[in-house]
Structure 1
Amino acid sequence: MTPLGHVGCVVLYCVLCLVMPTLLRGEFTLAYVREYSLFICVCTQDLVVCSVINSSECDCADHPLSMPQQQQTHGPGMVHFKRLTVWYTSPLNVARLLNNSEVRHLALIKCDLASSDLPLFDHFAVRRLERLSVSYPFWRPGQSHDVFLGRDMGALHHEEARIAVIHAAVLSGTDRLKTYTVKTEVDSKGMMSFPNVLMSNDGLPEMASMFVTFVY
């Protein structure tokens, strides 16, 4: 190997040593939802569940409490993420934050033992949801519900028209997570076959077939 080639290899090795930790350290988005506060954070490493969030590990933005509280039941969703982890102590604000949102992989983690009041509406809808994880580390440590939505119907994970309707009781705690999926269509008015589902029709394609999974 020529001296120039050797120097080039050394330089390349040094660059990789600097870059690889950043490439391997995947960022993830965390929402911490409490009764009187809401933080949306981008974190660079795994955190101890429901722990104090360190500014050296996460970049957080404090959102006004009115953000989830004033969310309209049929209004557009406020969050759009491929992956989202939610720590919460307020099921009410979680349901309002997530209703009509778009999340592919969603993790819900209850960070207290309190039996919180359920939201006024008994369910919320999440669009394009493929995987849902639910855990209650202070109530049932070590137990986690992890489901792939639509698998029972053979739904493709890249299916665009996919909606999960999650019962609010899931947020307060359940021993067993149950799901069932149906395939339906949206008519020319943007309506589905479930008139009681509190969901915005904005952006639903006309006459599209879609999978609707009920989680309870």
Structure 2
Amino acid sequence: MTGFLALVLFTVWGGHAVASEDNADSKDSADVGAPAAALDQIIETPMSVRKSRERAQRAVNELSRDIQNLKQSVVVLNKDLRVLEEDLLFPANTRFHVFLSLNVGEFFRLEGVELRLDNETIASYLYSEEERMALAKGGMHRLHLGNVSAGEHTLSAFFVGQGPNGREYKRGSSLRFSKGQGPKYVELSVADSEARQQPEFTVREW
């Protein structure tokens, strides 16, 4: 009887022990599988982030190209609109342009100019150092764009600046011209005169 009871107890407790060992093995298997899954996730996540960043960068690049194309289109459109506006506001038959050129360095430093047409001031401008440098390199400044009726007119220009030895210098020059059909172009020219050791101011038609 005692031996039978011991066998029963051994069977019960032994089976429990086996079951416990089976559970332990299952747990160990689960523990082994979990790090593997986590490792896969760790490996896949940076790849997904990189792909997302690449897609975002491509989208940004495409948007930048679209913006640049739009800016260029706006520049072209604004240019066309300015030309159209000038054609509407200043018809060719009455259009009047006045440009200023500068070829000085030693005898005159231009600071400003005032422009009068038939004794009426039509333009006044003060020049910066950057503008003077651009003019000295061969640039031209459109000082005035307006309308002039056909007939005889007098254009007067008054130049202000520093003359030889840094002295304040003011000089005027005039041109009497006839306006006919078509646009009219006039140039105000300021240049050094090596022979006279002073600046020269001229107003001439094109």
Q: TM exceeds 0.5?
A: no
Give the TM-score, by structure 1 length: 0.30
User: Which entry has the higher C-alpha Rg, 1 or 2?
Assistant: 2
